[in-house]
Amino acid sequence: MSKATEILLGPIVSRNGGFAFDTFTDATGTTPGFTYRCVEQAKYDRNATLLGLHRASGVVTIACETADEFHRRAAAMSGADPIESGFIVAREAVPIHA
């Protein structure tokens, strides 16, 4: 039995005068998303991506609501220590253990 592909969807963030969200997989790392002019466009694309990936066979999609959650989960998936590998971690954050 093969392992399902896990994909993290980051929250919508302000970037380069617009709005974007990133994705993360253990195989490719963090992939920056397209920057949209309007937050509504970014929300629509994030939701469409989430639904499309949810329907794909063998894919587990996790939608992160905060940047901190995205970075902690990405560190846990890659097996890295979020503090030593340069991941941004809030002071009150608790690392996720796999």
Query: Cα–Cα distance between 49 and 43 in angstroms, integer?
Result: 10
User: Which SS3 state, helix, strand or coil, does residue 24 take?
Assistant: strand
Segment among 7-11, 31-35, 82-86 with least mean pLDDT: 82-86
pLDDT value of position 91: 37
pLDDT value of position 4: 72
Q: Work out the average pLDDT over 78-97.
A: 48
How are beta strands 59-63 and 5-9 bridged, if at all? Answer: parallel
pLDDT per residue as tens digits for the range 24-79: 999 999 999 999 999 999 999 999 999 988 787 778 899 999 999 999 999 998 88
Q: Which amino acid is at 79?
A: G
Place of tokens 């919508």: 12
Distances from the Cα of 53 to the Cαs of 16, 18, 58, 92, 97, in angstroms?
A: 26, 24, 9, 31, 24
Model pTM score = 0.74
Q: pLDDT at residue 95 above 80?
A: no
